[in-house]
Chain A
Amino acid sequence: MFQNRAEALALALPAALFAAAVFLVPVVILLSDGFRSPVGGWTISAYTDFFSNTLNQTVFLRTLKLGALVTVVSAVIGYAAAFAIVNLEPGAKGRMTGLVVLPLMISPVARTYAWIVILGRTGIVNQAFQALGLTEAPLRILFSETAIFIGLLQLFLPLMIISLISALENMPRDAIPAARVLGANWFQVFWKVVLPLTKEGLVIGGTLVFTGCLTAYITPAILGGSKVLMLETLLYQQVSVSNNFVSASVIAFILIVMSFAANILLKRVATARNKMRSQP
């Protein structure tokens, strides 16, 4: 450890001042816009206005619902996939982890675009359904909540699987056989042994997936179209179509509060666990 404070500040300040000037200050001003009254002073009327609009309510609830749904489903699938990967031979484990990580390297635009080919009117799913005689007219899967759900799940599932892989690897090896020997069924093994021991990884993965869903723009824009909006696409519309900057500021604040809440929750649960562990 060097003690020279002036030197330390000279090294750290350029980055901090840069981030403050181009990021922190503009964002704070933007957020304060939603609380400013047109006649001077402060007010929350922009927020009551925002939430009294039924379209806004729908979009807000849809964003929460899709975020929660994608998080829960990715946790369920993630445990199965991570469990399978952790129990592979070392070589196969590396290759499978690589395949899970691979999509993260690919542009989200490309990954979302693929779903148009699959879910579109003449897409693979509709071709298959019509060939099987399940439906006569092509189904409208694109531009729906289902399409957004599928797109978001594919986008963020890798983050959940990776978090769960490292959590499962850190679990004591004998925990599962020990519970089995002592007579627990597989449901009890998961609920009483695996879940508590991997809770930290689940929370990390869950926060990444949930905040990812909140702040995803491309997926709802391409797969939801201009009718099925989420908060991000609503914000974009408010600015580029309606020129309504107050409403944009309100949405921005809601998004930030939601992601911060998820982040705080993550830290809370993680530290609660550490405390528990360090007790004698």
Chain B
Amino acid sequence: MATEVGPTSVKAPASGGAPIHHAPKGVGEDNRIATQGRWAAWLLAPTIVALSVVIVYPIITAIVMSFQKDAGVDASGFFVEGGPAGFSNYVNWIFQQCPAPGGGTVDCPPGTLGAQFWSATGTTFFFTIVTVTLETVLGFWMAVIMARAFRGRSLVRAAVLVPWAIPTAVTAKLWLFIFAFEGIGNKLFNTSVLWTGSEWPARWAVIIADVWKTTPFMALLILAGLQMIPAEVYEAAKVDGASAWQRFRMITLPLVKPALMVAILFRTLDALRMFDLPYILTGGANNTTTLSILVINQIRQGFNAAAALSTITFIIIFLVAFIFVRFLGANVVEQQTGAGKGKK
């Protein structure tokens, strides 16, 4: 937990920073530091402007929009602007309250998007947990194989990347053909499963396609972590008589953990936004509607409620990322310094 972050950040001022700052008390030195600071700020400014334009601005706009009502049709049949909405868009999603014909709200009837919010949230987390678990296990296994030296290793590494290189929409189409009723999936196993037409098969169809596609990504990230472990460590362990399992548990796992946590974090955030696969495979039918699909469907019906929903989605993903970084020690930024220190 905190031990990962602690040493590096606490050490920094004590070891490196402090002496240089305060030892030479010359006026010129002070000035130079000030100039450097100003320079740094100006050099950073373009990046900050760019980030503001592409990140801060859309987020603020989305939040502003989410407090506006969607346009509705007036008596003459034309759309008029909705005006301020307060929290009604958020209430629509979280408490599943939809506008009632006579004014006020009712429980969202099945068939409205509002009625699908919690099931979509559940589906999204279900997919995330199952796919990331499977991908981590399979990815680890693939990485361990690829890390060994054998003939044709580079070929295997390249081949493994193929599913990852195919655009997701194309992957989804491929699997749609495989999972069709007359498709090769049913032919091969001589079954007649309605893969995209019933609840559990539809879910497994999405999971299988996703695992097929993104395991290579996991494998490569983990492979990068494995290769940073020096061979001498293993040799030493062997000399000391550690079994293969012990070497894996006591050396590989702890040393690969930083890379592994980053890989899991990336995949989790990615999976929480899953859209193309279920959208193309099932159209969101049979309980495969994820939050992203719900957002896209809502955009067609009204931007402002969609803005509220994407803000909610943003907060959910943000919280998950926060939990990862804060409590599970996924350390994206300082990973390199940490690893470097570990080597020394």
Q: Tell whether A pairs with B.
A: no
Residues of A in contact with B (beta carbons under 8 Å apart): none
